[in-house]
């Protein structure tokens, strides 16, 4: 069954293809790759450290000649003040980007986009998690069979248990609780 979203309602009908999971790294690569066919997209990279952003920008430009980098911003690794948030918004606005890749990690990137949505300039904002590290080559991605079977989280937690265990246990448990309680 194919479903289409119209503002505040969803229409589902027979025929057509069903939607499949598209991970942040895969979405990012597909859009940047399509940029060669459809020039005019200006990309902004928000998140990660300066070295990762530099490596990522160079790799994307090398792999995808149509890639147009409008700007990058590496926010501080601490609690953000209102000044920090304003600096992020201004960096995006002054870049003229129409696609903003947000690689702040889950759930930080989702919270940031939700809290800032009314203050951000018009663009497509996509939270892509570890895509920056994957595409920059600083973190190895799970084998394809694990990706296709929704086991990428297991691969990542085995590779980085100290960093990811607490996050996965906390947020995945909350997600299950919300689903089971209908919230």
Is 3 part of a structural domain of the chain?
Answer: no
Strand pairing class (2-6; 9-13)? antiparallel
Q: Do 28 and 131 meet the contact criterion of CB atoms below 8 Å apart? A: yes
CATH assignment at residue 37? 3.40.50.2300
Q: Provide the token pair at 172.
A: 């995945």
Is 29 part of a structural domain of the chain?
Answer: yes
Is 17 part of a structural domain of the chain?
Answer: no
Question: Residue 109 above 90 pLDDT?
Answer: yes
Is 28 part of a structural domain of the chain?
Answer: yes
Question: Residue 149 above 90 pLDDT?
Answer: no
Tell whether 107 and 147 lie within a shared domain. no
Please say whether the dihedral angle defined by the alpha carbons of residues 25, 153, 142 and 145, taken in this order, is positive or negative.
negative
Question: Residue 141 above 50 pLDDT?
Answer: yes
Q: Which residues contact 113 (CB under 8 A, 6 or more apart)?
A: 102, 120, 125, 127
Is 13 part of a structural domain of the chain?
Answer: no
Tell whether 126 and 152 lie within a shared domain. no
Question: Residue 4 above 50 pLDDT?
Answer: no
Tell whether 103 and 183 lie within a shared domain. no
Residue 120's domain comprises 22-141
What was the pLDDT predicted at 39?
Answer: 82
Tell whether 111 and 134 lie within a shared domain. yes
Tell whether 131 and 154 lie within a shared domain. no
- The number of angstroms, rounded, from the C-alpha of 10 to the middle of its chain's C-alpha atoms is 24
Tell whether 107 and 181 lie within a shared domain. no
Span 44-101, pLDDT tens digits: 999 999 999 999 999 999 999 889 999 999 999 899 999 999 999 999 999 999 999 9
Is 7 part of a structural domain of the chain?
Answer: no
Percent pLDDT > 90 in the chain is 55
Tell whether 105 and 178 lie within a shared domain. no
Tell whether 112 and 172 lie within a shared domain. no
Neighbours of 108 (CB within 10 A): 17
Q: Which residues contact 160 (CB under 8 A, 6 or more apart)?
A: none
Is 73 part of a structural domain of the chain?
Answer: yes
Is 8 part of a structural domain of the chain?
Answer: no
If one counts the domains in the chain, the total is: 2
Tell whether 42 and 65 lie within a shared domain. yes
Tell whether 169 and 149 lie within a shared domain. yes
């Amino acid at each position: 069954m194919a479903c289409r979203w119209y503002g505040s309602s969803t229409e589902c009908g027979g025929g057509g293809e069903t939607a499949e999971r598209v991970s942040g790294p895969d979405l990012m690569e597909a859009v940047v790759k399509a940029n060669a066919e459809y020039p005019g997209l200006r990309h902004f990279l928000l998140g990660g450290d300066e070295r990762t952003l530099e490596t990522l920008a160079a790799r994307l430009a090398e792999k995808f000649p149509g890639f147009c980098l409008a700007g990058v911003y590496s926010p501080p690794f601490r609690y953000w003040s209102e000044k920090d948030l304003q600096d992020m918004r201004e960096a995006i606005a002054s870049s003229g980007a129409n696609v903003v890749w947000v690689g702040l990690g889950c759930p930080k990137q989702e919270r940031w986009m939700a809290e800032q949505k009314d203050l951000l300039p018009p663009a497509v904002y996509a939270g892509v998690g570890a895509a920056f590290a994957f595409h920059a080559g600083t973190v190895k991605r799970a084998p394809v069979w694990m990706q296709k079977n929704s086991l990428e989280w297991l691969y990542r937690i085995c590779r980085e248990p100290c960093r990811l265990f607490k996050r996965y246990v906390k947020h995945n448990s909350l997600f299950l609780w919300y689903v089971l309680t209908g919230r």
